[in-house]
Amino acid sequence: MGKIKDSLILKLILGVGIGLVVGLYCNETVIGVIQSIKFILGQLISFTVPLIILGFIAPAITKMKSNASKMLGLMLMLAYFSSVGAALFSMVAGFILIPKMHIVPNVEGLKHLPELIFKVEIPPPFTVMTALVLALFLGLAVVWTQSENFERLLDEFNNIMLKIVYMIIIPILPFFIASTFATLAYEGGITKQLPVFLKVVIIVLIGHFIWLTVLYSIGGAVSGKNPFNLLKFYGPAYLTAVGTMSSAATLPVALSCAKKSGALDEDIADFAIPLGATVHLCGSVLTEVFFVMTVSQVLYGHLPAFGTMILFIVLLGIFAVGAPGVPGGTVMASLGIIISVLGFDENGVALMLTIFALQDSFGTACNVVGDGALALILNGVFKKEKQKA
C-alpha cells in the first residue's frame, strides 16, 4: 500500500486528472491563482536545472579516471552513438508518423488566461550552457590535477543535488503538472489531445523494442555469441527499472543478470554495466525526441525544422550523460536545449515533463537492457584483442 502511495507515476496521473477537472470547472479568479502557483513552481524547476547539470556531469567525469583507457573510450563512444542513433531513428519516425495523426494545434477558440495575481521570479545562478562547460572543465581539471579534495567536494555536491531533486523537485512536479493541465483545460484545447498522447506512448514503446533488437543484433555479430543468451536473463532488471524509474537503483539487479547469463567476461560486466547505467540513455533519448516533436505539433502547430532537430539530437546526447539515477532525469537535464534550441515556452516544457514522466519507467528499462548489448559488443572487441596478443 505504501509503495502505491509513494508512486510518482500515480501522483502524476492524479495531478493530470485533478488539473483537468479543476481547469474545466473553475472560474477566472481561481485560474489566476493557479497560474501564479504554476509560475513559481516553474521558476523553482528552472533554477535547479544548471545546478543539476553541474552536480551530475562533473562528478561522473572524475569517477572515470581509473578507467581512462581504450575500453573507457570505446564504451563512451558506443553509448553516445547508441543514444544518438536511437534519437535519429525516433526523429525519422516522427517526421513520417506525426503528420499522419492529423493533430489539430491548440491555437483557435481558446479562453483568454487572466493576468498572474502574484509573480516571484527566481533566475538561475548561471545559464545551462555555462553549467555544461563548467562541469566539463571542472571534471577534466580534477582528473588532470588528481585533486582528491575537490573530487570529494564534487561528490558531496552531487549528493546535495540528488537530495534537492528527491526532496524538492520531484515532490513539486505533480503540483506543477496539475497547475499546468488546469490552465490548459481552462483554455479548452488539451482535452482533445489526450488520445494523441496515448497513441504516442504506444509508438514509443514499440520503438524501444525495435532499437533493442538492433543493438543486440550488433552485439551478437561483434561478439560471435547468441545475444538471446544474455537478453533472456534481463527480465528482472527490466521489471526493476519499470518499478524504480532509475538506472542507478536498477544497477545491482542488472549486474546480477549480466553475470548470471555467462555471456560476458566478469571483468567486462563489472566495468560496462555500471558505466552504461551512467552514460547510456538510448530509451530515454528515443522517447524524448518523439515527444518533443509531438508537443511541438500539438502546441505550436508544426514540427521542428530538420536542421533544428539534428542540432537538438547532437546536444541531447551530451546533455544526457549525467542524467540517469533520477526519474525524468534526461528531460530535466535537457530542459535548457528544449527551450533554447526548440523554442519551447512554459506550456511546452510542462507538457514535456508530464508525458515524459508518465512513461519514464519504460524508457529507463530500455536503457538498462540496452547496457547489456553494449557490454556484449565490448566483450567481443576486447576478447579478439586478447586473442591477438
pLDDT digits (tens, 9 = 90+) for 352-379: 877 777 677 788 889 999 999 999 998 8
**Is the pLDDT at 322 greater than 70, yes or no?**
no
Q: How far apart are CA 20 and CA 256, in angstroms?
A: 43
Which amino acid is located at 120 in the chain? V
Q: Residue 122: its pLDDT value, please?
A: 86
Look at residue 308 in the predicted model and tell me its pLDDT: 93
Task: Tell me if residue 328 falls in helix, strand or coil.
Answer: coil
Radius of gyration of the chain (CA): 21
Give yes or no for residue 386 having a pLDDT over 70. Answer: no
Judged by phi (left if over 0) then psi (alpha if -120 to 50, else beta), residue 328 lies in: left
Q: 43, exposed or middle or buried, with CB in 10 Å at 0-12, 13-18, 19+?
A: middle
Residue of 187 and 369 predicted with greater confidence: 369
pLDDT tier, 203 (very low <50, low <70, confident <90, very high otherwise): very high
Question: How far is the C-alpha of 19 from the C-alpha of 175, rounded, in Å?
Answer: 9
The answer to whether the Cα torsion of 220, 225, 231, 237 is positive or negative is: negative
pLDDT band, residue 272 (cuts 50/70/90): confident
Q: Among residues 263, 374, 281, which one has the least CA distance to residue 332?
A: 281
Give the residue, 233 or 190, on which the prediction is more confident. 233
In this prediction, residue 191 carries a pLDDT of 57
CB 300 within 8 A of CB 106: no
Q: Look at residue 177 in the predicted model and tell me its pLDDT.
A: 77
pLDDT reading at 269 higher than 50: yes
pLDDT of residue 370: 94
pLDDT value, residue 371: 92
pLDDT score for 271: 78
**What mean pLDDT is predicted for residues 244-269?**
78
pLDDT at 193: 57
DSSP 201-247: HHHHHHHHHHHHHHHHHHHHHHHTS-THHHHTT-HHHHHHHHHH--H
Q: Could you read off the pLDDT of 63-103 as tens digits, one per residue?
A: 756 544 577 778 888 988 999 999 999 999 999 998 888 76
Q: Comparing C-alpha atoms, which of 129, 121, 122, 123 is closest to residue 54?
A: 129
Q: Would you list the DSSP string of 246-258?
A: -HHHHHHHHHHHH
Q: Could you tell me the CA-to-CA distances from 204 to 112, 197, 312, 327, 364 in Å, in that order? A: 34, 10, 18, 18, 13
Q: Identify the band that residue 273 occupies on the pLDDT scale cut at 50, 70 and 90.
A: confident
Does position 130 have pLDDT exceeding 70, yes or no? Answer: yes
Q: Please, which residues have CB within 8 angstroms of residue 214's CB and are 6 or more apart in sequence?
A: 85
Q: How far apart are CA 118 and CA 328, in angstroms?
A: 29
Grid cell, residue 82, equals 547508441
pLDDT of 151 above 60: yes
Express each pLDDT in 12-43 by its tens digit.
Answer: 778 878 888 898 888 888 888 888 888 888 88
Any idea which of 70-74, 247-251, 304-308, 337-341 has the lowest mean pLDDT?
A: 247-251
Query: Which range, of 51-60, 292-301, 310-319, averages the lowest pLDDT?
Result: 51-60
Whole-number pLDDT of residue 330: 76
Q: Span 173-178, mean pLDDT?
A: 81
Of 217, 201, 210, nearest in space to 89 by CA: 210
Report the pLDDT value the prediction gives residue 2, as an integer from 0 to 100.
47
State how far the Cα of 285 lies from the Cα of 314, in Å rounded to an integer: 11
Residue 8's contacts (CB-CB under 8 Å, 6 or more residues apart) are: 170, 173, 174, 245, 327, 357
Instruction: Report which secondary-structure segment, H or E, holds 262.
Output: none
Q: How many CB atoms lie within 10 A of CB 108?
A: 8
Query: Is there a contact between 102 and 301 (Cβ–Cβ < 8 Å)?
Result: no
Phi-psi region of 284 (alpha: psi -120 to 50; beta: other; left: phi over 0): alpha
Confidence of residue 129 (pLDDT cuts 50, 70, 90): low
Looking at per-residue pLDDT, the higher value among 139 and 67 belongs to: 139
C-alpha–C-alpha distance, residues 28 and 21, integer Å = 15
pLDDT of residue 242 exceeding 50: yes
DSSP states of 305-324: PHHHHHHHHHHHHHHGGG-T
The pLDDT assigned to 104 comes to 59
Query: What pLDDT was estimated at residue 105?
Result: 55
Distance between CA atoms of residues 51 and 273, nearest Å: 27
Mean pLDDT for 127-147 is 81
Q: pLDDT band at residue 107, thresholds of 50, 70 and 90? A: very low
At 363, the amino acid letter reads G
**Share of residues in the chain with pLDDT > 70 (%):** 83
Q: Which residue has the cell 489566476?
A: 32
**Three cell numbers, residue 16:** 493530470
